[in-house]
Amino acid sequence: MKQTPFERRHQADWQDFARQLDALERGKPGPDSRQFPAAYRRLCRQLALAEERGYGSRLVERLQQLALRGHHQFYRHRSHLGAQGIGFLLGGFPRLVREEWRLVLAASLLFYGSLLVMGLLVYHFPELVYSLLAPDQVAQLEAMYDPDASRLGRFGERSSAADWMMFGYYVMNNLGIAFQTFAGGLLLGLGSLFFLLVNGLSIGAAAGHLTGIGYTDTFWPFVIGHGAFELTAITFAGAAGLKLGWALFAPGRLPRGEALRQAAARSVRLVAGALLLLLIAAFVEAYWSSMTLTGTPLKYAVGVLLWGLVAAYFLLAGRPAHAPD
C-alpha cells in the first residue's frame, strides 16, 4: 500500500489516539479510555508497517512520538492497576468483608450450621448419609480415606506431574462451586441459599460418616489445611450472591436495575477475593494436604495455624493505624 492511502485509512485512528493521550496526560481519562490498550497495540503495528515499507520520515516520526507517549501511559496505568490489586489484597478485601458482615454472617450461619447439624446427625444415625449421598459416592469416600490402604502404602506420594494435574482439577471444581453459589443470587438470592445449604449438608454428611466409621486419622488431617481457605471462600461467594438477591428483592427507592448495578459493584469484588482464596485452597490441597509422609500432629498444627491466619487477616488487615497519644 502506498503512503497516501495508508495515511488516509488510519488518520482518524491517530487523531482519536492523540485525544486519548491528551486526556490521560491531563489526568482526565474519557469514556473511551478503556479502549486505550487496544488502540496502543494497533498504533504499534501501524508504526512497524510504516518503517518496514519505508514511508516518509515525517510520518514515521509522528507515529514514533505517539507510540512513545502511548508506551508511557500504558505502563503507567498498568502499574497503577497492579498497585490497586495489591492494595485490595492488603486491605481492601478484608475491609469489604467486614463492611458486609451481615451477609457474611448469614451465609456462614447457613453453611456452617447445616454442615455441623448434618455431621452430628450422620454420626449418630449413620443411615442418614444415604439421604444426601449415593451409595457409590459413599463407597468412593471410604476408599479414598481408608486407613488400611494408607498404612499398606497403596497411596504413596504423588509425582509432581500428578500434583499439578490435581491442582488444576481442584481449581476447576472449587471455582465451579463458587460461581454457582454467587450466580444463584440472581434468583432473588434463593439460588445462593440453596447452594450454601446443599454444600453444607453434603460436606457435613461426608464428615459425619467418615468420623463415625473411624477414618479420623486420614480424613481430618487431609481437610483441615485447605479447608481454612475453601470453606471461607464458599461463604463469601454465598454472601456476594445474597447481596445481589437482596438488591432485587428490596431495592428500596432505587429502580431494580440500578440497585442491582450498585450491589454488583461490591459483590464482584467480594467474589473476586473468594476466587483468590480458592486458588490458595487448591494449591494447599494439591501440594500439602495430599502429602502422606508428614505426621498427623504436624498436619493439625499447620491446619490450626492456617485457620488462625485467615481469621486474623479478615479481622485485622486493612484497619487504620492509630497514632500514638
| DSSP, residue by residue, 115-146 | HHHHHHHHHHSGGGGGGTS-HHHHHHHHHHT-
Of 104, 87, 94, give the one whose Cα is nearest residue 315: 94
Tell me the C-alpha to C-alpha distance, in Å, between residue 195 and each of 80, 114, 170, 202.
37, 11, 18, 10
6 φψ region: left (φ > 0), alpha (ψ -120 to 50), beta (else):
alpha
Give pLDDT, residue 150: 54
- Grid coordinates in use for 141? 469416600
User: pLDDT digit string (tens) for 194-210?
Assistant: 999 999 999 999 999 99
At residue 187 the predicted structure's pLDDT band, cuts being 50, 70 and 90, is very high
pLDDT at 153 > cutoff 90: no
Give pLDDT, residue 31: 56
At residue 248 the predicted structure's pLDDT band, cuts being 50, 70 and 90, is very high
Give pLDDT, residue 325: 37
Highest mean pLDDT: which range of 11-25, 42-56, 173-187, 223-237: 223-237
Whether 23 contacts 30, CB under 8 Å: yes
Give pLDDT, residue 297: 92
User: pLDDT digit string (tens) for 295-320?
Assistant: 889 999 999 999 999 999 999 998 87
